[in-house]
């Protein structure tokens, strides 16, 4: 009997909980909790209709440690899967420590009042989780998550070391919206508009946001403009694979998205500090979030494919230097048919389920706080192939320079 508590009821949670229910031999008892219980109930209703599995729901303020501890104890959860906002990571980790529950998330901690995400706050919990005999798995989405596991799989099966790595994320999907983000608008815009940085020559190199772009021909999608930006797996990969000389992250954006994001930034709508409006204090980006489409509601109208993967160059196990491109192609319409989600939610929710399965199956249970690239990749990679995110790996003729 494995009992899982999922916190958060957005698009990623919708996909993850459906996939957990489809693997009821592993996830025998699921509770879904969020600040708005009605959202949990809607997901539970969909799971019952699509999969035929009953899940429990509960109301929870994830910032209330005592309430989370009480719910963990009430449900008997062995694992808490955090699919809420990154501001809530530390509070949920505190609750897991107090209640004696394993922890897993998909995005690293970010202070609510500062657009700055990094792992230092969560890495500081290493000794606490180790002493408690509990495991905390960080970043079990696609990027971060699968992209890190891809790198570890390459190091285990193809390369002795990785000299340089580029993570490439392309969403070739389209919908009928003038402007819509792929995931939570508040988190998406905070992330995209940050100053870009990448790891090179033992230090961070900085570039103004959304200024460095190149065209790349993505499998299953075709040529797309991708932009250099910062993403959290660069921090953990450069730390845990110290031989890496250069690590970069690229994401595709259309011209309309760039135009809207820049205009919103220029007029102050992406500000994260409080402002007074008609005598009421509001945070502009949170108000903007209420005006923009909910990505979780766009699944039915989203068409096209997403392609995410790594291009890694390093010393081959066979000798000499080789370059590999390892990636997944995911179809928005296929995702919607299966679980009622578009591909961006699916490609984060399915790896969250697979990472949780690794804990519940006993594969990833060494006490401590771990990033995905620190863990054995093989069963995770096998489950990607059987759970809707099949991957391919191809040897390239040499390093790809952008």
| Cβ pair 245, 230 in contact under 8 A | no
Q: Is 223 exposed, middle or buried (0-12, 13-18, 19+ CB in 10 A)?
A: exposed
Residue 194 shares a structural domain with residue 289: yes
Closest among 289, 84, 327 to 179, alpha carbons compared: 289
DSSP 8-state secondary structure symbol assigned to residue 107: S
Q: What would the pLDDT profile of 250-298 be if each residue is shown by its tens digit? A: 999 766 676 667 777 777 777 878 888 888 888 877 887 787 777 666 6
What is the C-alpha to C-alpha distance for residues 335 and 300, in angstroms, rounded to an integer? 10
Q: With cut-offs at 50, 70 and 90, classify the pLDDT of residue 219.
A: very high
Last residue of a domain, which of 85, 107, 138? 138
Q: Where are the alpha helices (H) located in 252-386, listed in sequence order?
A: 255-266, 284-291, 332-339, 343-360, 378-386
Residue 60 shares a structural domain with residue 101: yes
* Residue 72 covered by a domain: yes
| Cβ pair 243, 162 in contact under 8 A | yes
* Residue 375 covered by a domain: no
Higher-scoring residue by pLDDT: 189, 323? 323
Q: 262's torsion region: left (phi>0), alpha (psi -120 to 50) or beta? A: alpha
Residue 296 shares a structural domain with residue 317: yes
* Residue 365 covered by a domain: no
> Across the chain, what does the average pLDDT equal?
91
* Residue 128 covered by a domain: yes
* Residue 378 covered by a domain: no
Residue 156 shares a structural domain with residue 46: no
Residue range 194-205: average pLDDT? Answer: 92
pLDDT higher than 80, residue 220: yes
| Cβ pair 45, 54 in contact under 8 A | no
Q: With cut-offs at 50, 70 and 90, classify the pLDDT of residue 194.
A: confident
DSSP 8-state secondary structure symbol assigned to residue 297: G
Last residue of a domain, which of 105, 138, 171? 138
Last residue of a domain, which of 115, 138, 161? 138
What is the C-alpha to C-alpha distance for residues 225 and 215, in angstroms, rounded to an integer? 4
Residue 197 shares a structural domain with residue 333: yes
Residue whose token pair is 């989780």: 129
Query: Domain containing 103 — which CATH number?
Result: 3.40.50.720
Helix/strand/coil for 52: coil
What is the C-alpha to C-alpha distance for residues 119 and 144, in angstroms, rounded to an integer? 12
| Cβ pair 267, 219 in contact under 8 A | no
* Residue 366 covered by a domain: no
Q: Structural domain tally of the chain?
A: 2
Residue 314 shares a structural domain with residue 333: yes
Q: What is the pLDDT of residue 305?
A: 93
Q: What is the pLDDT of residue 178?
A: 60
Residue 48 shares a structural domain with residue 109: yes
Residue 172 shares a structural domain with residue 123: no
Higher-scoring residue by pLDDT: 273, 127? 127
Nearest 5°: the CA angle 10, 11, 16 is: 100
Residue 326 shares a structural domain with residue 251: yes
Residue whose token pair is 């209420």: 290
Residue 11 shares a structural domain with residue 112: yes
pLDDT higher than 90, residue 150: yes
Contacts of 348 (CB under 8 A, 6+ apart): 12, 15, 16, 106, 141, 142, 145, 183
Residue whose token pair is 């040529």: 223
- Percent of the chain at pLDDT > 70 equals 91
* Residue 152 covered by a domain: yes
Residue 16 shares a structural domain with residue 124: yes
What is the C-alpha to C-alpha distance for residues 244 and 247, in angstroms, rounded to an integer? 7
* Residue 402 covered by a domain: no
Residue 62 shares a structural domain with residue 210: no
Give the DSSP letter string of 123-147.
HTTHHHHHHHT-EEEE--BTTTBHH
Contacts of 111 (CB under 8 A, 6+ apart): 87
Choose the weakest-confidence range: 138-142, 292-296, 375-379.
292-296
Query: Domain containing 157 — which CATH number?
Result: 3.30.360.10
- Name the residue range of residue 79's domain: 3-138
Question: Helices 146-157 and 378-386 sit at what angle, rounded to 10 degrees?
Answer: 120
Q: Which two tokens stand for residue 340?
A: 């009622």
């Amino acid at each position: 009997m494995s009992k899982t508590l999922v916190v958060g009821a957005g698009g990623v949670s919708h996909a993850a909980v459906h996939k957990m229910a489809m693997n009821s031999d592993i996830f025998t008892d699921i509770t879904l909790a969020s600040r708005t219980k009605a959202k949990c109930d809607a997901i539970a209703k969909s799971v019952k209709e699509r999969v035929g599995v009953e899940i429990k729901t509960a109301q929870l303020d994830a910032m209330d440690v005592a309430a989370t501890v009480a719910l963990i104890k009430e449900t008997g959860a062995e694992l808490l899967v955090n699919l809420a906002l990154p501001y809530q990571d530390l509070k949920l980790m505190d609750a897991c420590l107090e209640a004696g529950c394993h922890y897993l998330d998909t995005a690293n901690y970010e202070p609510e009042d500062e657009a700055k995400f990094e792992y230092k706050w969560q890495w500081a919990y290493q000794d606490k989780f180790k002493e408690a005999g509990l495991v905390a798995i960080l970043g079990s989405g696609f990027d971060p998550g699968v992209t890190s596991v891809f790198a570890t799989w390459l190091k285990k099966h193809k390369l002795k070391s990785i000299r340089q790595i580029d993570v490439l994320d392309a969403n070739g999907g389209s919908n009928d919206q003038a402007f819509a983000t792929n995931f939570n608008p508040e988190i998406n815009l905070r992330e995209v508009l940050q100053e870009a940085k990448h790891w090179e020559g033992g230090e961070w190199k900085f570039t103004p946001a959304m200024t460095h772009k190149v065209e790349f021909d993505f499998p299953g999608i075709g040529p797309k403009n991708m932009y250099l930006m910062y993403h959290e797996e660069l921090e953990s990969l450069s730390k845990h694979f110290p031989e890496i000389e250069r690590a970069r992250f690229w994401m595709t954006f259309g011209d309309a998205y760039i135009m809207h994001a820049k205009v919103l930034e220029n007029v102050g709508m992406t500000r994260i500090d409080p402002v007074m409006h008609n005598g009421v204090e509001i945070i502009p980006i949170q108000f903007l979030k209420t005006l923009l489409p909910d990505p979780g509601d766009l699944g039915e109208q989203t068409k096209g494919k997403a392609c995410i993967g790594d291009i890694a160059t390093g010393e081959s196990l066979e000798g000499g230097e080789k370059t590999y491109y390892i990636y997944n192609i995911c179809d928005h319409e296929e995702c919607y048919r299966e679980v009622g989600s578009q591909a961006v939610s699916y490609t984060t929710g399915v790896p969250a389920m697979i990472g949780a399965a690794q804990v519940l199956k006993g594969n990833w249970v060494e006490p401590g706080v771990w990033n995905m690239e620190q863990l054995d990749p093989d069963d995770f990679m096998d489950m990607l192939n059987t759970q809707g995110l099949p991957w391919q790996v191809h040897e390239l003729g040499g390093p790809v320079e952008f």
